[in-house]
Structure 1
Amino acid sequence: MLTKNFMAHCFQKLTSLLQNQNTIQIFEPNKKVAVEVTYTETNTTTNDLYAYTHSDTKDKYSVFLDGNHPMNTSISLACMKSN
């Protein structure tokens, strides 16, 4: 579980009306998976689908693929052999 009691952007303005807040869960595969994500506009590459630094920010959805990117993002996945 990444976070509990998270309010999405639209609901932040309605906090007095909102009783149940969102929960965000991340996918953890049973087998190890090699991941390479390339963000074209910044020419950066990472080996994770999640940018955990955003879990402490207001926009927690940015944890997924480092938030909004205006240009194409390349994602490569490969299953690893288990020993």
Structure 2
Amino acid sequence: MEQPPPTTYLVNGAAIRTRRKDLGMDLAECAATAHISRAYLNQLELGLRRHMKPPTYHRLRTALRIEPPDRRLLAPNEDPHRKE
């Protein structure tokens, strides 16, 4: 039986920041590309916010050029067997 889509993704802020910097993107550029606020992205990177709704997570993943099934933006305890 297929699992329902997750209500939120638990993300790893350090991984988000590392990937953004590896791509040479500043905070404002990445946030604009992902259609999220700069403040929200900063909170994610600092670990002040850790949960993202699926559409927001997918936009951020796209902005950071990460294709499924790559799960590097997810927190280590996120269920690796869940389908996207």
TM-score for the superposition, normalised by structure 2: 0.25
Larger fraction in strand: 1
Structure scoring higher RCO (CA < 8 A, sep ≥ 6) equals 2
Highest CA radius of gyration, 1 or 2? 1
Q: Name the one with the larger helix percent.
A: 2
